[in-house]
């Protein structure tokens, strides 16, 4: 970096890791920040940064009595969700990105990004955030370093991951590999130029280099675009590491279910964005004697354990949950965690007493609010008060029902895996797969109506394999093959059973056929009883669905549930579904695993034989 004024700051760097120092120096040279700050993760540092963000208008401090040490942020209206159109997997060969990803040759993309990042941090502070996804004392800790020019990102990463000095010291001491994750808002400041409250750039690029295991994110300050430990690392890059190292990185929650007999089961579930993972992970069962505890709500890393069992851990330290629909009625456990404070809310509405509100938080709608865009709002307003993808960012250890196993680097042995989507029709409440590969088939053909979690149209039906469509870091066919092959490496007796679920089926009058939320515990109970050989099922062409009387409906409000509608397998709907699945499978070309092709043939034959 020659004799630039920044050099003394680098000399004072709290590490001797040559690779890290060289990268920080290279990025500083490229992006030209005014200052470099190595994030230590301390309380004092967090207080200073959030004070600065309040002074800048980026954060609004909430009423200390209602939400201690908590803040609200309001983004640019054009920066409210992940941008899938602008997300790239830049593998050396286009084939390795597969048809589900955007691709550009790495050299071409790097040249483009160097242009965009050139001087992009002028007038700003460059923060260096050492972080680890998963346990710092795991056998093979997964380190990263995010460089960002956003203090909001620093404060949010502090909630979502383990960051700071203890991580950097371990990276240094073990001369560890780390994923370099570079982020810039793309909003440099000229001398004397006033800042805006949510700097960003209309041109957004979320780019992954899987062979190099690096991330470059430009132009957005929001969620999965900017908190690079989350979707970019723990799913897209980690899925590639997992392919190479024989494990899986998945868009899944993990929960612990304890039966009235005190038997413990661990279940993971993959649902697309804004389709119910956080809610299921924090479920309050409506059936007597069954208890749920939480291990994770968004990302699961799974590997085969020493005895051939499938073990799961949550690499995150916080929740970045959808706010709307999270309420005292539907998800009291999340509400209690949020009420403990230490949270950052983004794009929610403000109450007149300095608290936050969003649609579905309370039954009673406040008479007056300030909406997420800063406008005065009343119940007569024709727009929602909170953005549909508004979020709460809260430390996971504030969940009262957090399972103690969350803290174990070894994780838990899974008994069941659920795949689920948001489908108005066709897909029954719950279906058990016949075999592992039949379950992988269910996951590979998972479909869901799009939500506000990603920019673009909402409510459009699309295939979303394993709820990973936006997150598979390599060829989708190779990814499915990796899933198929996992069973051969596992102890067959201990392989988790796979189920397909749908909480979102509608009745003819448009209402939900199934009440969902706490009542989903009834479906978990049925799944466990299937595994234990206790619950009856009907064999259908698509798999096993609950036999009449086999779902525990004790105490269920039957005026608001239409269980028969919810579990029905309709031959006409499935004829249309089959055609749509065939079209989907056609997109994979040669990379579709043979085992899945024969699953499709099997389904076709069974449907025809009906
Ligand atoms: P991401 O964080 O985007 O990955 O989302 P998620 O999968 O964690 O979804 P979340 O649990 O936040 O739920 C998203 C929306 O679905 C919320 O508005 C919930 O109220 C709603 N929802 C969740 N579970 C159910 C359910 O069982 N039934 C119904 N009808 N709605 C549900
Ligand atoms: C999702 O979209 O699946 C999320 C939110 O969990 S984000 O972190 O923005 O990706
Ligand atoms: Mn998610």
251 is in an annotated binding site: yes
Q: How far is it, in rounded angstroms, from Cα 429 to Cα 200?
A: 42
Tell me, what's the pLDDT at 8? Answer: 53
Q: How far is it, in rounded angstroms, from Cα 473 to Cα 208?
A: 8
> Using N-to-C axis directions, what is the helix angle for 594-608 and 476-489, rounded to 10°?
90
Q: What atom in ligand 2 is closest to the CA of residue 251?
A: 3
Query: ∠500-289-545 over CA atoms, to 5°?
Result: 25
453 lines ligand 2 (CB under 6 A): yes
276 lines ligand 2 (CB under 6 A): no
Ligand nearest to the CA of 224: 2
**Alpha-carbon distances of 176 from 18, 28, 168, 169, 173, rounded to whole Å:** 11, 22, 10, 10, 8
Q: Tell me, yes or no, if the pTM score tops 0.95.
A: yes
* 232 within 8 A of 224, measured Cβ to Cβ: yes
Ranges of the chain with pLDDT below 50: 1-5
* 446 within 8 A of 519, measured Cβ to Cβ: no
Among 297, 333, 348, 294, CA closest to 318: 297
| Pocket probe mutation, ligand 1, options 322, 396, 506, 516, max atoms within 8 Å of Cβ | 322
* 241 within 8 A of 385, measured Cβ to Cβ: no
* 155 within 8 A of 50, measured Cβ to Cβ: yes
The catalytic residue positions are 275
274 lines ligand 1 (CB under 6 A): yes
82 lines ligand 1 (CB under 6 A): no
Tell me, what's the pLDDT at 4? Answer: 44
Number of Cβ within 10 Å of residue 72's Cβ equals 23
597 is in an annotated binding site: no
CA atoms within 13 A on the CB side of 229: 30
Among 242, 60, 83, 56, CA closest to 151: 56
Q: How far is CA 86 from the centre of its chain?
A: 18
Ligand nearest to the CA of 455: 2
Biggest CA–CA distance in the chain, Å, is 78
Q: What are phi and psi of 356, to 5 degrees?
A: -120, 160
Q: Pairing relation of β-strands 214-218 and 178-184? A: parallel
Eight-class DSSP state of 326 = -
Tell me, what's the pLDDT at 557? Answer: 84
For residue 605, report the distance from its CA to the centre of ligand 3, in Å.
35
Which residue's CA lies nearest to atom 27 of ligand 1? 516
* 349 within 8 A of 72, measured Cβ to Cβ: no
For residue 448, report the distance from its CA to the centre of ligand 3, in Å.
14
Q: How far is it, in rounded angstroms, from Cα 269 to Cα 250?
A: 9
* 205 within 8 A of 239, measured Cβ to Cβ: no
For residue 491, report the distance from its CA to the centre of ligand 2, in Å.
33
Region of 549 please: left (phi>0), alpha (psi -120 to 50) or beta.
left
Eight-class DSSP state of 355 = -
Q: How far is it, in rounded angstroms, from Cα 600 to Cα 425?
A: 20
Task: Report the run of H or E that residue 320 belongs to, with start and end.
Answer: strand 318-322
**Strands, E assignment, 398-472:** 412-413, 416-420, 430-432, 447-449, 461-463
Tell me, what's the pLDDT at 310? Answer: 98
For residue 270, report the distance from its CA to the centre of ligand 1, in Å.
12
236 lines ligand 2 (CB under 6 A): no
Tell me, what's the pLDDT at 610? Answer: 86
Q: How far is it, in rounded angstroms, from Cα 30 to Cα 23?
A: 11
Q: CA dihedral defined by 98, 99, 101, 102, rounded to 10 degrees?
A: 110
230 lines ligand 2 (CB under 6 A): yes
For residue 90, report the distance from its CA to the centre of ligand 2, in Å.
21
Tell me, what's the pLDDT at 440? Answer: 98
Q: Pairing relation of β-strands 300-304 and 447-449? A: unpaired
Q: What atom in ligand 2 is closest to the CA of residue 222?
A: 9
346 is in an annotated binding site: no
Check: complex ipTM more than 0.85: yes
* 86 within 8 A of 358, measured Cβ to Cβ: no
Among 202, 199, 210, 203, CA closest to 232: 210
Task: Report the run of H or E that residue 523 belongs to, with start and end.
Answer: helix 520-531
| Pocket probe mutation, ligand 2, options 73, 156, 223, max atoms within 8 Å of Cβ | 223
278 lines ligand 1 (CB under 6 A): yes
Tell me, what's the pLDDT at 239? Answer: 98
Among 213, 205, 219, 79, CA closest to 149: 219
Q: How far is it, in rounded angstroms, from Cα 557 to Cα 87?
A: 44
């Amino acid at each position: 970096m020659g004799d630039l004024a920044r050099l003394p700051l680098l000399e004072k760097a709290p590490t001797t890791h040559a690779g890290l120092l060289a990268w920080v120096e290279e990025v500083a040279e490229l992006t030209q920040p005014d200052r470099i700050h190595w994030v230590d993760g301390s309380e004092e540092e967090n207080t200073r940064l959030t004070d600065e963000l309040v002074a800048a208008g980026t954060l609004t401090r909430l009423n200390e009595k209602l939400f201690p040490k908590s803040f609200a942020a309001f983004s640019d209206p054009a920066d409210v969700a992940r941008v899938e159109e602008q997300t790239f997997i830049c593998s050396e060969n286009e084939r390795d990105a597969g048809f589900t990803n955007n691709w550009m040759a790495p050299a071409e993309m790097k040249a483009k990004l160097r242009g965009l990042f050139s001087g992009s941090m002028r007038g700003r502070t460059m923060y260096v955030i050492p972080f680890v996804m998963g346990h710092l004392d795991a056998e093979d800790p997964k380190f990263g370093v995010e460089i960002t020019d956003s203090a909001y990102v620093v404060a949010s990463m502090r909630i979502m991951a383990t960051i700071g000095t203890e991580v950097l010291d371990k990276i240094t001491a073990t001369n560890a590999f780390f994923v370099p994750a570079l982020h810039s808002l793309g909003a440099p400041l000229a001398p004397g130029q006033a800042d805006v409250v949510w700097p960003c750039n209309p041109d957004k690029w979320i780019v992954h280099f899987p062979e190099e295991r690096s991330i470059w994110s430009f132009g957005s300050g929001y969620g999965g675009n900017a908190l690079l430990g989350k979707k970019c690392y723990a799913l897209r890059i980690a899925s590639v590491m997992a392919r190479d190292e024989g494990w899986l990185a998945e868009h899944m929650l993990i929960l612990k279910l304890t039966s009235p007999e005190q038997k413990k089961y661990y279940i993971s579930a993959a649902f697309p964005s804004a389709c119910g993972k956080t809610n299921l992970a924090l479920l309050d069962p409506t059936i007597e004697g069954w208890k749920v505890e939480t291990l994770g709500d968004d990302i699961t890393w799974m590997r085969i354990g020493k005895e051939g069992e499938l073990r799961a851990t949550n690499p995150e330290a916080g929740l970045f949950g959808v706010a709307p629909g999270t309420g005292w009625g539907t998800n009291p456990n999340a509400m209690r965690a949020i009420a403990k404070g230490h949270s950052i809310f983004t794009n929610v509405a403000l109450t007149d007493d300095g608290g936050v509100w969003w649609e579905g938080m309370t039954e009673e709608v406040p008479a007056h609010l300030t909406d997420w865009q800063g406008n005065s709002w009343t119940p007569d307003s024709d727009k929602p008060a909170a953005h549909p993808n508004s979020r709460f960012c809260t430390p996971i250890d504030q969940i009262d029902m957090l399972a103690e196993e969350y803290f174990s680097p070894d994780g838990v042995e899974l008994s069941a895996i659920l795949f689920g989507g948001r489908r108005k029709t066709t897909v029954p409440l719950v279906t058990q797969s016949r075999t592992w590969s039949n379950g992988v088939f269910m996951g590979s053909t998972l479909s869901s109506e799009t939500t506000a979690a990603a920019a673009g149209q909402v409510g459009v039906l699309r295939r979303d394999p394993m709820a990973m469509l936006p997150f598979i870091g390599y060829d989708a066919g190779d990814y499915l093959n990796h899933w198929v092959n996992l069973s051969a490496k596992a102890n067959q007796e201990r392989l988790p059973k796979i189920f397909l679920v749908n909480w979102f089926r509608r009745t003819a009058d448009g209402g939900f056929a199934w009440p969902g939320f706490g009542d989903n515990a009834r479906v978990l109970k049925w799944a466990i009883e299937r595994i234990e050989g206790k619950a009856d099922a009907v064999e259908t062409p698509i798999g096993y669905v609950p036999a009449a009387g086999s779902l525990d409906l004790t105490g269920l409000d039957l005026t608001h549930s239409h269980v028969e509608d919810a579990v029905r397998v309709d031959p006409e709907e499935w004829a249309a579904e089959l055609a749509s699945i065939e079209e989907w499978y056609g997109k994979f070309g040669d990379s579709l695993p043979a085992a899945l092709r024969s699953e499709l043939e099997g389904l076709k034959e069974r449907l025809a034989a009906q």
